[in-house]
Chains A and B, each alone.
Chain A
């Protein structure tokens, strides 16, 4: 009988455990956890002097041997400066990062400090998963030292700052200088017409050489739209009434011109499926002469290509002499709205965003710094990175960005536009239908957004 009682107890305990385990995601998202620990937060944060030990967690979406080592080192240096704050490093592979943030946000388990990209920032801010940093930003001693580009960047939601950029990436054109030399061409791409002209000149199918490392897969549409806004001289994908600019005949013509690079055979046939990795490989293994990419590729190119065979050129200018372009961050620092140690979390963000750390970080990962002073560092005046810095230093620059505030954008650039443009490129759908479908999708999303967020 005693044994039976024991079994009953064990089973009851087990049942309770299972029930708790099963319910935990729902339970955690409730307010009980947050409420009970809220008081503790303010004590630990504002008190400061008694230096209560605090444990923070940082989530890195771009783990790589080099980056992980640097980030862990930075966290250690932060801990040395603030012995009472310990920071645990966590990482998630980039491909799963955006899903992970949302899932963690929904379950209330987002780490105190998270590195996020500017596209996901809007969604996370809108859902209330990340903290409004405006109050901290206003009091921050470094706010005045930031570059214009940092201030204009997409780190705001409804006018409030939600993330501090880590450094900027922007598009630049990697070119095979040795191919240019063979053809007696100067490695220079001034205008978009030069770009299309060179795409043709560099192509030599007999040698297996093509002009452009084309991106037909995920996010390829962003490159097409980049050309479209330059061709029609606008900073937005939309008209004032929320209609897509693709309805304009000249925009449709620009769309056609952009994709003619593939249809006319100036890009490898397989590039219809290419995403980031494939297009970078396509350039490095000698299939393509021009690659439109961001600065983090410099490190890979340095490692895999002979010096003197390549460089980076600033993006071409539109026919009005301006560059319509975007500059974004991929790992800006944001704070979880559910963080129990917000003051300490801001301290960590402040540390990671300080001018010295920012310079060290940007040099290491070929990003464009967020501080004016850091831009004057000789490192950003020479070599491939100068191709990027020069664009941001030019006065004739217009900030033109994909509509990252639309929650439909990842679906558009990752799935819908891929299917539509691939139908066009394989001849399964006409140009007019393709452009119309894309314009309809964007217009619907934009007008819905405008209705929900009246200006």
Chain B
């Protein structure tokens, strides 16, 4: 064994390389994270403090808090933040509620369940752009399906241009987003429900528990970790999503359906001002971090156990 004899003569070196070994093994992962995650993140954060407009490559300089001052002075910002909260609260709230109901319904056996299950989970597999186009068409005032029904049912006399009305146009997008996201909650919650042992329900029934008691005392506590994680992820996801807004209304009319990311998108797209856009991005990062910390604290995630 040449290795061992060699090692014996140089015990100190061996100890040093043994101490180094874990770091070497971690190095590839760390380097990949550093190159593709940490570097862009740091770059984005530094950009937020620079005057950086793509049209003016000779005119890049450290601008301190100028970009943030510009954001705070932006008269659109309160509206955009309000929209973002509305967008997340309504979308995730409805997705959660409907997804939970869906999962409860699918947790029973009935004829044709497999077929039904694959059909209701389908929206999850459809591209966001397609969904945007579909719902845009459905909400069309002239030829849209929804207006057709409303007129037939006598609720309105004439097609309503939902997507053209300020402060209304965001709701059709929320409807589309809810439809898009229900299966995600459905799948996650259903998986958790199937892990609950049946004997617990049986003994609860013997003790005389009704369906509501079973739901609130057994089902929900049992799947609480899943609920917390899915809601947490979903909020971040929905908060960050701009595709449906971009397709259905492009934020209009007059920004009344813009959320923060779609606003950032239009900022970058037309101003090429990466400084301001990065500052908005940083604002988003801070908001989401604060949200995550508060959310985990309020839901006592640590006490809820592992999933």
Contact = CB atoms under 8 A, between A and B. Distances in A.
Interface stretch (A249-257, A267-275, A382-390): A267-275
Interface residues of B, number: 46
B270 interface: yes
Given A2-B3, A287-B142, A415-B267, A14 B28 contact: yes
B219 interface: no
Contacts of B250: 217-218, 273, 275
Interface in B11-43: 17, 21, 24-25, 27-28, 31-32, 34-35, 39
Interface string B236-272: 0000000000000110111110000000001111111
Contacts of A208: 142
B93 interface: no
B111 interface: no
Interface in A399-438: 407, 410-411, 414-416, 418-420, 422-423, 425-426, 428
B197 interface: no
B270 A270 contact: no
B76 interface: yes
A99 B271 CA distance: 10
B6 interface: yes
A102 interface: yes
B252 A272 contact: yes
B31 A414 contact: no
B161 A270 contact: yes
A422 B253 contact: yes
A216 interface: yes
B169 to A, nearest CB: 8
B266 A217 contact: no
Contacts of B142: 208, 268, 270, 287
A22 interface: yes
Given A15-B31, A269-B141, A419 B164 contact: no
B261 to A, nearest CB: 15
A216 B253 contact: yes
A106 interface: yes
A99 B166 contact: no
Interface string A19-50: 10110000000000000000000000000000
B299 interface: no
B246 to A, nearest CB: 10
Given A273-B249, A426-B254, A14 B270 contact: no
A422 B249 CA distance: 12
Interface stretch (A4-12, A178-186, A338-346): A4-12
Contact of A423 (B7, B254, B266): B254
Interface stretch (B49-57, B94-102, B177-185, B284-292): B49-57
Interface residues of A, number: 48
B31 A269 contact: no
B39 A106 contact: no
B141 A426 contact: no
B253 A1 contact: no
A22 B28 contact: no
A127 interface: yes
A393 interface: no
A99 B269 contact: yes
Interface in A192-239: 205, 208, 216-218
A172 interface: no
B282 to A, nearest CB: 21
B194 interface: no
A99 B24 CA distance: 40
B51 to A, nearest CB: 14
B128 to A, nearest CB: 16
B8 to A, nearest CB: 11
A126 interface: yes
B174 interface: no
Nearest to A123: B55
Contacts of B164: 269-273
B265 to A, nearest CB: 10
Contacts of B46: none
A123 B57 CA distance: 10
B143 interface: yes
Contacts of B3: 1-2
B163 interface: yes
B117 interface: no
Given A4-B17, A272-B252, A422-B252, A18 B31 contact: yes
A285 interface: yes
Contacts of A99: 268-269, 272
Contacts of B230: none
A428 B254 CA distance: 9
A415 B271 contact: yes
Contacts of A270: 140-142, 161, 163-164
Contact of A273 (B21, B34, B76, B253): B253
Nearest to B167: A426
Given A1-B3, A22-B34, A268-B142, 15 more contacts: A7-B24, A14-B27, A126-B55, A127-B58, A270-B141, A272-B253, A273-B249, A285-B143, A407-B53, A407-B56, A407-B272, A411-B272, A414-B269, A422-B253, A422-B255
12 contacts: A14-B31, A15-B27, A218-B250, A268-B142, A275-B250, A410-B271, A411-B271, A419-B254, A420-B254, A422-B252, A426-B253, A426-B254
